[in-house]
A and B are shown apart, each in its own frame.
Chain A
Amino acid sequence: MTSIHADIDALKGLHEALVRYRHAQREVAGRGEEKIRVIRASLEAKASRWRAELEQCRAEFGACQERAAQAAADGPAATDDPVDCSGYARAAEQCEERLEQIRRWQQRIDAEASEFGGIASRFGDLLENDLPRTEEHLLAIIRSLEAARRVQVTGS
């Protein structure tokens, strides 16, 4: 190619770069959405696990309290070896804390994802509508330059 056509070659290179960019960023956007979905599902699974754990801890704590109440009702002889439920209480508190921590993350992600959604939507619109128009516009410029120089249009 002669140097007089260097600008046309450069514009063709830019056109190819724009097309590649559109496809690559579509893929990036899709992966971003997928990551949001995966993390949300993961947090929900963790929350579900900790809810079940909390239920179990509360049941064990309740059973322990019943044993303690029964021991107290049985009289002083039974209280020589008092029933200690503090371990069950701590376990239930830890479950509640873990569950609350997950809930806070879920709420934060909902808020952040909602804010991101607006930006992602505008970018998606740019990729689907504006960028193809830009590519078409550039192709038209390339064709007009080629026509002006009587260069045969190839591969466009």
Chain B
Amino acid sequence: MVTRPDRDGEQQLRLLDDAWDKASQHWHDSMARQFDTGHVTPLLRESRGYLEALRKLMDVLEAAERDTEG
């Protein structure tokens, strides 16, 4: 079964989020905080924004497909 790209993207985002949680359990010095605010947080934020936009667009595309069938 072919899954929607936005859902796969969200799954990948969860995996990355989990990896960061795991890493931050062992790494919590000032360098970790800088890495979080400078890299991880912007990456997760941008990814969520992109995936939300992708989800909305996929919804519209599917609706168009359904509505013009036949």
Contacts and interface: CB of A to CB of B under 8 A. Distances in A.
Interface of A: 6-7, 9-11, 13-14, 16-18, 20-21, 24-25, 27-29, 31-32, 35-36, 39, 42-43, 46, 98, 101-102, 105, 108-109, 112-113, 115-116, 119-120, 122-123, 126, 130-131, 134, 137-138, 141
Nearest to A134: B39
Interface of B: 5-6, 8-9, 12-13, 15-16, 19-20, 22-23, 25-27, 31, 35, 39, 42-43, 46-47, 49-50, 53-54, 56-58, 60-61, 64-65, 67-68
Contacts of A28: 5-6, 8-9, 12, 54
A141 B26 CA distance: 14
A123 B35 contact: no
A35 to B, nearest CB: 6
B36 to A, nearest CB: 11
Contacts of A10: 22-23, 25-27
Contacts of A9: 26
**What DSSP secondary structure best describes chain A's contact surface?**
helix
Contacts of B67: 101, 105
A31 B5 contact: yes
Contact of B65 (A16, A39, A113): A39
A24 B12 contact: yes
19 contacts: A7-B26, A10-B22, A11-B23, A11-B27, A13-B19, A14-B20, A14-B22, A21-B16, A28-B5, A28-B9, A29-B5, A29-B50, A32-B6, A102-B68, A112-B57, A116-B54, A116-B56, A119-B49, A120-B53
A130 B43 contact: yes
